[in-house]
Amino acid sequence: MKRIIAVLLFTLVLGTLVACTKKEELIEDVTELEPLLVKLTVTNEVEVGETVHMSSLVTMGNQKIDDADEVVYEVWEEGKKSDSVMIDSTNEKEGVYTAETSFDHDGLFHIQVHVTAKGLHTMPVEQVTVGSGGKYEESSGHDYHTEGFSMHFMKPTDVAAGEEKELIVHVELDELPLE
C-alpha cells in the first residue's frame, strides 16, 4: 500500500513539474502582435475638378508593409455612404499605397482606406472639402464614424436563404482594432 501511495505521489509531483516547465516554455515562445497602422494622407481642400491625392503609409511596428492583401480607397459624399465608390490603389513600395480622384461638384466628401495585411484590417477615414463644401442636413445618427471611433460592417456576398453566412464587423478606437 505504501508503494502504491509513493508511486502515485511521485507521479503527481513529476506531472506537476512537467506541467510547470511546459507552461514557462510556452510563455517564452509567445511574441506580442504589433498593430497594423495606416497613416492616411489626402488633399483636404480642393476646387471642383481638381485632383485629390490619396496616400497611405502601412506599417506594423517598425516594418513597412509592401505586401498588403488589400488597399482600397472608399469615397462617398456626406450623407450618401450607400453610394460610395471603391478605388484601387497603386503599390509604390516602401509601404506606400496611392490613388487619385476628383469631384464634379461642391461638397463634403469622406475618403476611407480599407487595408488588410498580415491577417489584420484597419480603415482610417479623412474628409475633403470640395469648393464651398455644400450644405447638408444634420446627421440622423446612422453614421458609424465619429472622432476616434470607427465601425464598419462588411456586406456579405452570395447570401442564400437557409444557409449560414459569416458576418464581419470591424471596430476601431483611435485607429487601433478594438478587442
> Are residues 64 and 15 part of one domain?
no
Number of independent structural domains in the chain: 2
Residue 53 within a domain: yes
What number of CA atoms fall less than 13 Å from residue 156's CA on the CB side?
A: 11
Q: Yes or no: say if 126 and 111 are a contact pair by the CB < 8 Å rule.
A: yes
| Residue ranges making up the domain that contains 26 | 1-30
Place of cell 465608390: 85
Any domain includes 153: no
Residue 167 falls inside a structural domain: no
- pLDDT of 36 reads 92
Query: What pLDDT sits at residue 16?
Result: 63
Residue 44 lies in a domain: yes
Same domain membership, residue 3 and residue 49:
no
Burial class (CB in 10 A: 0-12, 13-18, 19+), 29: exposed
**CATH code of the domain containing 54:** 2.60.40.10
Nearest of 119, 125, 127, 124 to residue 70 by alpha carbon: 119
pLDDT along the chain (179 residues), means of 10: 63 61 49 84 94 96 94 93 94 96 94 93 93 70 58 71 77 74
Same domain, 42 and 57: yes
Q: Which residues of 78-158 form beta strands (DSSP E)?
A: 85-88, 90-93, 96-102, 107-117, 120-122, 125-130, 145-146, 149-154
